[in-house]
Structure 1
Amino acid sequence: MLEARQLSFHFSPDAPLFDSVSLTLNAGQWAGLSGDSGAGKSTLGKLLAGYLAPFEGEVSLDGKALPKSGVQPVQWLPQSPELAVNPRWRVGKILREAWTPSNAQCQTFGVQPSWLSRFPQSLSGGELQRVCVLRALAPEVRFLIADEISTMLDPITQLELWQALKREAEQRQLGVLVISHDSSLLERLCPQRLHLSGGQLNPW
Structure 2
Amino acid sequence: MLSASALRYCHDRHRDPVIDSVSLRVKAGEIVGLTGDSGAGKSTLGRLLAGLLRPQAGRIELDGTPLPRHGLQPVQLLMQTPELAVNPRWRIERILHEAWTPDTTLLEALSIRRDWYSRFPHELSGGELQRVTVARALAPGVRYLIADEISSMLDALTQAELWHALLQVVASRRMGMLVISHDAALLSRVANRCYRLNAGQLDALA
TM-score bucket of the superposed structures, by smaller chain: over 0.9
* Alignment of structure 1 residues 185-200 onto 2, 5 Å: 185-200=186-201
Matches within 5 A, 1:53-68: 53-68=54-69
TM-score between the two structures when normalised by the length of structure 1: 0.99
Q: Which runs of 5+ in 1 are unaligned?
A: none
For normalisation by structure 2, the TM-score amounts to 0.98
1:120-161 alpha-carbon deviations (Å, 9 max, x no partner) = 110000000000011000001000000000000111110011
Kindly state the Cα deviation for residue 172 of structure 1 after the two structures are TM-superposed: 0.2
SS of 2:18's partner is: strand
CA distance in 2, matches of 1:167, 1:104: 12
Distance in 1 (alpha carbons) for counterparts of 2:24 and 2:181: 17
Aligned to 1:69, the other structure's residue is in SS state: coil
Q: Which residue of 2 aligns with 1:88?
A: 89
Task: State the percentage of identical aligned residues.
Answer: 56
Number of residues of Structure 1 aligned to a counterpart in Structure 2: 204
3-state SS in 2 of match to 1:32:
strand
The one-letter code matched in structure 1 to 2:125 is: S
Matching residue of 1:113:
114
Q: CA separation in 1, counterparts of 2:103 and 2:115?
A: 14
1:24-63 aligned within 5 A: 24-63=25-64
Deviation by residue 1:70-102 (Cα, 9 ceiling, x = unmatched): 111000001000000000100110011111011
Partner-residue secondary structure (3-state), 1:5:
strand
Q: Tell me the equivalent position of 1:11.
A: 11
Letter in 2 for 1:172: R
Unaligned runs of 5+ in 2: none
Specify the alignment match of 1:158 in structure 2: 159
| SS across alignment from 1:23 | strand
Deviation of 1:11 (Å): 1.2
Q: SS where residue 80 of structure 2 aligns?
A: coil
Kindly state the Cα deviation for residue 170 of structure 1 after the two structures are TM-superposed: 0.7
Shift of 1:18: 2.0
SS at match of 1:118: coil
Deviation for aligned residue 1:107: 0.7
SS in 1 for 2:17: strand
Q: How well do the aligned residues superpose, as a CA RMSD in angstroms?
A: 0.7
- Map 1:126-137; keep pairs closer than 5 Å: 126-137=127-138
Whichever residue aligns with residue 140 of structure 1, its letter is G
Aligned equivalents of 2:84, 2:19: Cα separation in 1: 25
Inter-partner Cα distance in structure 1 for 2:72 and 2:48: 16
Aligned to 1:173: 174
Per-residue deviation at 1:15? 2.0
